Structure 1
Amino acid sequence: MGLFPWQRVLALIGATFVIALPDSYDSHWSAKDIIIRDVCVIGGGSSGTYAAIRLRDMNQSVVVVERKDRLGGHTETYTDPGTQAKLDIGVRIFHNTDLVKNYFARFNVPLITADLQAPGESKYVDLRTGAVVTNFSPGDPTAALGAYAGELAKYPYLDAGFDLPDPVPADLLLPFSDFATKHRLEAGVGLIFRFGEGIGDMLRLPTLYAMKLVGLRVLQSIQTGFLTTARHDNSELYEKAQAVLGADNALLLNSHIISTQRDTNDGYVRVVVATPSGQKLIKAKKILLTIPTTLDSLDHFDLDGSERSVFKQFNPNGFYTGILRNTGIPDNTTIINTGVDTPFNVPFLPGVYSIDPTGVPGLHGVIYGSPNLIPGERVKDDIIAAIQRLRTAGTLPTTKPEFAVFSSHSPFMLTVPSNAIAGGFYRQLYALQGHRHTFYTGANFHTHDSSMLWQFTEALLPRIVA
């Protein structure tokens, strides 16, 4: 069915005021197109899938609305057609916690300790020129990481979310470059940067974001070992969760939101969704929103003034990943983009972070970051040009590679400037929990770390079902 006239008007003008739906509204829908649930989960990535499974455990009826044809979000796995080898190109590692192990165990997905040692040789190359950065060594980061852990220990609340004290500690507001210099972390910045890939221009961002992405739990896992799936197929978790939710008629894949109305007379929010089988009306007691809360992402939501004033402050960055064929780079060689003249020798962005062996002959993984959003085709062209510069510089006999698979994980990090953090931005953001029957989880409410997001979501669930 098409949009009602008032929906068309609201969509066109981007209205932010509230209209209570008339009691007769539902009568315009066929019964087969109305879905009634306790909770409508919007987004089927890491947080949304976990929440839907756990809400089901808590005797809540759910429906998940997901744009893609699968669950998992940034957890993506490529199957090489020649060898049938599985290669994770999104989320690759997890923390060794009981929550993680129990979640995988319920779906009979075995875990092993991840091997993060790059095979063969690592070349430190400035990919702006393709030349090896001479006389460069990453050095021993042990002492610097110890000092960094000492600083992290001052802010244990960061592992639970953005529930910051007032006033916000001054060190958390410093650009990370200044923080690293102040606390003599120079030898550890390279490793912190690599574990924080995707954050964008880490050195200029407030230290808060570096500490959120590379926190105490990450440092502990570096020492004790991360986990990954024994079959090297992290998507298996989501395929099995998808089977469970699909059997409950709890999934709307390849679907997107047309409109929402969260101020009604009967306590049910309304969500109009375009699905492959036509438009559906979801009536739910609560919404759990897990997608990035940018104004672009929420352009079909009935945002009020308080929501819009918070979400409009976010600045998104870009993160991209893929698998390359026939690069000319040896199968046992890792290329680490290293700035010859940049602070701490971190790579200049936008640009490639690294090009890594996959263990499958002829295939290399690539990850790319940008401080802002850029088109995927431009990213692909830049990656290919960077690889060809290795040949021009005489570093390696590279060729023009092809993408076996490419994926944009953008918008990735959502950040705000230090003055906004100091002014109480995260208090305002968290105050939206439960506002207008809507709850939030996902990376911009905590961090880009599946294990930590499941922990955050678990803590939020009692509020949703109350």
Structure 2
Amino acid sequence: MRFSTNAARLVLLFGWLGIGLSFPTFGPGLADDKGDEPKKGQNIITRDVCVIGGGASGTYAATRLRELGHSVVLVEREDHLGGHTRTYFDPAGRPIDYGVWVYSNNTDQVRFFEHFNIATTGQDFTRISQGSQRIDLRTGQSVPPPVGSLVDAMTRYTQVLLQHPYLADGWELPGPVPEDLLLPFRDFIVRYDLGPAVEVLTLYIQGLGDILDYPAVYIMKYFSFGVILGIQSGFTTSASLANIRLYEAAQTELGADALLSSTIIAAQRTDEGHNMLVSTPDGIRLIRADKLIIAIPPLLQNLEPFDLDYRESDLFAQFDYSHYYTTVLNLSGVPQDVQILNRAVDTPYNIPVLPSTYVFYPSQIPALFSGFFGGGTQNLTEEEVRAIIRDNVRQLRNAGYDVSDDPEILAYGNHSPFNLFVSSEAIATGFYRDLYSLQGQRRTWYTGAAWHAHDSAALWQFTERLLQRVIAD
């Protein structure tokens, strides 16, 4: 086993804190302002399981494990739980969800909301009764709708998707990996004559970057059979129209077991258990946990403190990722019964050129819209994203809308790194097989979108199955 820079730093930090790896002792480095040393063990958190990350997967894992009788500590770098879930409240207290918007339907989604006594409802799409206005937001030019039968194209897509039911459960692909899954999406479209459906497919899988170059399996993972069922029978959302309430309730339930605004700075993972130093607003503390669940994007820059071995480092280094941003903005010159779709006049299937806005969607509050923005593989600053969105809005003047030259952006969310992906070649040679083989190694398990898909309900289902393995080990 390599003795990494992290391992060396861990030893130094433990030494600085005066914490022995087997029996904790404290030296004067932990003395309080009065010069008194803390009582032995008061800066040590001992739990059955430590969960890293308080997004959809991590929050579900922590609350569910507690429900099943296991002690838990959750470490989250933000000052709140919820991950990609963002809710804006206007001055009157009315909410707009501008991150996670709707949920596909399964038993774990129903149970999770019921656990916190949060009522749900079907998503109301009647606000766009006049449909979509397709506009090239580079120029304001109107773009015609797709040609051909959407129903027939979606039927063909669904028939292909049903040939690969394992995609609904994760990334346990058969060997050899079927050719259809490895095709660039542009070739997959041609093979199955999906041109009329590309607009709908891309509308529901925003944030993936230059979508035509992705292996088709990523589109099939994101536009899943669960999404198809949601389109047909309705998606679910919170009855309050504020999805953040779910995570506020979870945060209240977890209480002191949720370490917010906190990060792991060094870790020692072994087959017997884990020692982790965590930086919290109250100072550095030691977490001792029998098992570890990592629910953050498995990128080297995120997992560097966790003393990765060569195999883990090699796999995580292969991931690339896209950038995705969301906003709430005032578009008082745009009717509340339409959505503005960004479509390009000069690209295959009128796919918008990134970085740019995907769609402006009307909220239940007059004049306020959610704006969803794709950065592709470009890591943009907030100022750059805001500038491009404002320019996109200004182009609506050329389309006949009386919008402001300086539209007000009321809320902003950066969801990067968003979709983690690898090449078709890596998938074909067993990347996901090797990735999944890490589950349980060194008493560490993983969950989150990179291990399944960007679908909260699907991730809760995936995490529920994973927890059964964690508990059984």
TM over 0.5: yes
Question: Which residue, 370, 382, 393 being the options, matches 1:365?
Answer: 370
Question: Which residue does the alignment assign to 1:422?
Answer: 428
Task: Give 4+ residue runs of structure 1 displaced > 6 Å after superposition.
Answer: none
Question: Which residue, 448, 454, 458 being the options, matches 2:464?
Answer: 458
Tell me which moved more, 455-464 or 98-107: 98-107
Question: Which residue does the alignment assign to 2:345?
Answer: 340
Across the aligned residues of Structure 1 and Structure 2, the Cα RMSD in angstroms comes to: 2.0
* Counterpart amino acid of residue 258 in structure 1: I
Question: Which residue does the alignment assign to 1:432?
Answer: 438
Tell me which moved more, 104-113 or 120-129: 120-129
1:24-60: per-residue Cα shift (whole Å, max 9, x none)?
5665675111000000000001001111111112211
Contact 2:267 2:307 in 1 (8 A): yes
**TM-score, length-normalised on structure 2?**
0.90
Say yes or no: does 1:69 pair with 2:79.
Answer: yes
Contact 1:201 1:370 in 2 (8 A): no
d(CA) in 2 for partners of 1:140, 1:85: 39
Say yes or no: does 1:109 pair with 2:118.
Answer: yes
Secondary structure at the counterpart of residue 355 of structure 1: strand
Question: Which residue does the alignment assign to 1:79?
Answer: 89
Question: Which residue, 385, 407, 415 being the options, matches 1:409?
Answer: 415
d(CA) in 1 for partners of 2:61, 2:174: 27
d(CA) in 2 for partners of 1:37, 1:63: 7
Question: Which residue, 170, 186, 191 being the options, matches 2:179?
Answer: 170
d(CA) in 1 for partners of 2:248, 2:96: 15
1:351, distance to aligned residue in structure 2 (A): 1.1
Question: Which residue, 380, 383, 398 being the options, matches 1:374?
Answer: 380
d(CA) in 2 for partners of 1:185, 1:25: 62
d(CA) in 2 for partners of 1:63, 1:328: 48
Question: Which residue, 249, 256, 269 being the options, matches 1:262?
Answer: 269
Question: Which residue, 361, 386, 390 being the options, matches 2:392?
Answer: 386
Kindly report which structure 2 residues correspond to 1:40-51, keeping only aligned pairs within 5 A, or say none: 40-51=50-61
Say yes or no: does 1:306 pair with 2:311.
Answer: yes
Contact 2:207 2:376 in 1 (8 A): no
Q: Unpaired runs of 5+ in structure 1?
A: 1-5, 13-20
d(CA) in 1 for partners of 2:471, 2:56: 20
Shift of the 153–394 alpha-carbon distance from structure 1 to 2, 3 Å rule, reads closer
d(CA) in 1 for partners of 2:431, 2:382: 31
d(CA) in 2 for partners of 1:222, 1:455: 20
1:425, distance to aligned residue in structure 2 (A): 0.3
What percent identity do the matched residue pairs reach?
Answer: 43
**TM-score, length-normalised on structure 1?**
0.92
1:237, distance to aligned residue in structure 2 (A): 1.1
Kindly report which structure 2 residues correspond to 1:234-245, keeping only aligned pairs within 5 A, or say none: 234-245=243-254
Question: Which residue, 229, 233, 252 being the options, matches 1:224?
Answer: 233
* Counterpart amino acid of residue 252 in structure 2: A
1:243-298: per-residue Cα shift (whole Å, max 9, x none)?
1111xx3110111111111037xx23011111111111000011100000111112
Secondary structure at the counterpart of residue 211 of structure 2: coil
Question: Which residue does the alignment assign to 1:184?
Answer: 193
* Counterpart amino acid of residue 283 in structure 2: G
Tell me which moved more, 109-118 or 30-39: 109-118
Question: Which residue does the alignment assign to 2:14?
Answer: none
d(CA) in 1 for partners of 2:305, 2:146: 50
